[in-house]
Structure 1
Amino acid sequence: MARLAGIKDVARQAGVSVGTVSNVINRPDLVSEETRSKVQAAIELLGFVRSESARQLRVGRSRIVAMLVLDLGNPFFVQVARGAEGASRAAGLGVMLCNSAEDPVQESEYLSLFAEQRVRGVLVTPADAHGTNLVDFRRRSIPFVFVDRVAPASECCSVSVDDVAGARLAVAHLLEAGHRSVTYVSGPMHLAQCRDRRTGALSALAGHGLAEDTLTHIEADRLDVAAGRQAGARLLALSRPPSAVFCANDLLALGVLQAVYAAGLRVPHDLSLVGYDDIEFAGAAAVPLTSVRQPAEQMGRLAAEMLIEETGDRAADHVHQRLVLQPELVVRESVQLVSAH
């Protein structure tokens, strides 16, 4: 493989000093237009690309923000990443996007990689319920911001959505439609989002004077469509299947929908269904899905802006914040009034 051209090669080709090439790249206003043109021509001829690691060592600050999410297969996190990328690009920064796959071990490995790469900061949706990985990472003195999770302490910023309120909206909608037999299908309960959404569901029951045991719970091992299909098969096999299901995210709900149709049943005639996140596929499903919408792109943008402020020229003035955004219920066709059955 051919050797990559270096700054000395550019200087030799342009007939100038290495310092002049450096000025053209980093401080072009110090160089005459004629010299800049010669250096730029040499750069294009040789295919020179400046070394980001060398630049980083010189200025002491990376231009890369790392982002670690639970599942890149979930369109919700793609929307969050889009918001973070927009804010980062506006600030002249790039984003390194990684997937923990809801695995604390994989999360730990990525955090170590980020530290080795000396990234500017990290946007993270934690997979480790105990927070051990981030406690260790904090010792590296690299700022980080929680995304889709409330920061447990005042040592960092966070941007999240009120998941208790969102789940309360979802289950209250089912109860107001006359349902009294509701199942909550969640992902792993070590995830705070799944726990908070169960709390919101129970709050809705209490608000309608119903006991906690009115809500049955099926815990899936993942938050994807395949896990939703498996959960759907389990709930249909119950001795007394529910009339309504609330899922911790839309991917689970789409899997439940598939299981219902595979069993020869229909949504909402035989089973009413509500999801969470309001991903694009929710409205485009065979039966448009009622779902709780999270402002995903806004969440990513705000988180990135917080991190940029904390790592910028005015970092000394930065004050950690915990922003909690409000969800909204988007009503479609997947819930039916009990009286209409």
Structure 2
Amino acid sequence: MAVSIRDVAQRAGVSVGTVSNVLNRPDEVSMDSVDRVTRAIDELGYVRNDAARKLRAGVSTTVGFVVLDGQNPFYNEVVRGAEDEATRHGIAILYGNTDEDPRREKQYIDLFEEQQVRGLLIAPYGDVTARLQKLRMRGIAAVLVDRFSGDGRFSSVSVDSVAGGRLAVEHLIELGRRRIAFVGGPFDMRQVTDRLAGARAAAENADGPVDLEVIATTAMTVDEGVAAGARIVARPRSEWPDAVFASNDLLALGLLQSLVIGRRLLVPEEIALIGFDDNPFAAAAAVPLSSIRQPSRMIGRTALRILLEEATDPDSIARQTVFPPELVARASTGE
């Protein structure tokens, strides 16, 4: 029969509430109570969960990581970077994928709070500032990943997506493209709006007219890229763009499949194509994809390092780490 928290309380000669406080808020309990509860846990063989380990280590050995798209290899690489850094510190990462669903995002944040993680890394879908502020009040640090903290209340690690969007469209313009389509969405994602802002800035500052249209998608997936490509080629040929900037590589891959495999179009001769992220598959695509590179593993390592520092020193000043993007030109734009 499993040992319960009530059994621990009876053996320690304290209330159930005291045992709960020892497990979750040991700083609010006398050292005598902590010692008695710890001894009772050892004697009864109470389940060795995170809370029990915290009695010995004084701090949780887990960190939560919430990402908004677990199917995107970019986030897999970011998590790998965080795991590499976590291993150096004897930390385990608990991972949750929201799939761009605010309800799942809330569920994971609540779950990691219940688990009393040392801190939370999060690539948010929406505005989670108020929720993270509540975590901070409970002693759980949080760092934004792949999202710049506009108000500076939380540390963040990201890439300059505006600069990345500008790089992508400037590259297309330098190749002589003047009818450019931006494919991306949804537009309540900051990454998408920033990349579009950069694309528009490049078009507006170009020598000579550049027509930049927006083709909205409901998600940044391969399927949405395929659908966007079908919409493009369904038009009269005279209305086709001569270049496409996809807001991530998954969309770009779907576009490539739709244009080249489905419609037998020539990329880049008829339509040049560039994505964003420089995921591992980009170079191995049927037509190697040009892309805007993000240092994915470095983002993960840096975010974990900052999180651990803030968990140790709650009074540390929030910092915004922004990495520069890098243009990687391949065959899909004629390089």
TM-score (norm: length of structure 1): 0.80
- Number of the residue aligned with 2:326: 328
- Number of the residue aligned with 2:7: none
Checking the alignment, whether the CA contact within 8 Å between 2:178 and 2:209 is kept in structure 1 is no
Question: Which residues in structure 2 correspond to 1:1-341 (within 5 Å)?
Answer: 50-57=48-55, 59-129=57-127, 131=129, 133-135=131-133, 137-209=135-207, 214-239=211-236, 240-261=239-260, 262-312=262-312, 315=313, 318-336=316-334
Checking the alignment, whether the CA contact within 8 Å between 1:243 and 1:271 is kept in structure 2 is yes
Q: Percent identity?
A: 43
Checking the alignment, whether the CA contact within 8 Å between 2:140 and 2:311 is kept in structure 1 is no
Distance in 2 (alpha carbons) for counterparts of 1:260 and 1:316: 52
Match of 2:100, SS? coil
Match of 1:119, SS? coil
Amino acid at match of 2:116: R
* Range 115-124 or range 140-149, more displaced: 140-149
Residue correspondences, number = 292
Amino acid at match of 1:84: A
Distance in 2 (alpha carbons) for counterparts of 1:319 and 1:139: 16
Distance in 1 (alpha carbons) for counterparts of 2:2 and 2:331: 58
- Number of the residue aligned with 2:8: none
Match of 2:331, SS? coil
Once the 2 structures are TM-superposed, how far is the Cα of residue 234 of structure 1 from its aligned partner? 1.4
Gaps of 5+ in 2: 4-45
Match of 2:332, SS? coil
Amino acid at match of 1:251: L
Checking the alignment, whether the CA contact within 8 Å between 1:129 and 1:192 is kept in structure 2 is no
Change (3 A) 1:131 1:241: farther
Distance in 2 (alpha carbons) for counterparts of 1:236 and 1:129: 36
Change (3 A) 1:255 1:310: same
Gaps of 5+ in 1: 6-47
Distance in 2 (alpha carbons) for counterparts of 1:220 and 1:248: 10
Amino acid at match of 1:256: L
Once the 2 structures are TM-superposed, how far is the Cα of residue 60 of structure 1 from its aligned partner? 4.5
Distance in 2 (alpha carbons) for counterparts of 1:311 and 1:69: 20
Once the 2 structures are TM-superposed, how far is the Cα of residue 320 of structure 1 from its aligned partner? 1.4
Q: CA RMSD for the aligned pairs?
A: 2.3
TM-score (norm: length of structure 2): 0.81
Distance in 2 (alpha carbons) for counterparts of 1:316 and 1:141: 8
Match of 2:152, SS? coil
Once the 2 structures are TM-superposed, how far is the Cα of residue 57 of structure 1 from its aligned partner? 4.4
Once the 2 structures are TM-superposed, how far is the Cα of residue 311 of structure 1 from its aligned partner? 1.2
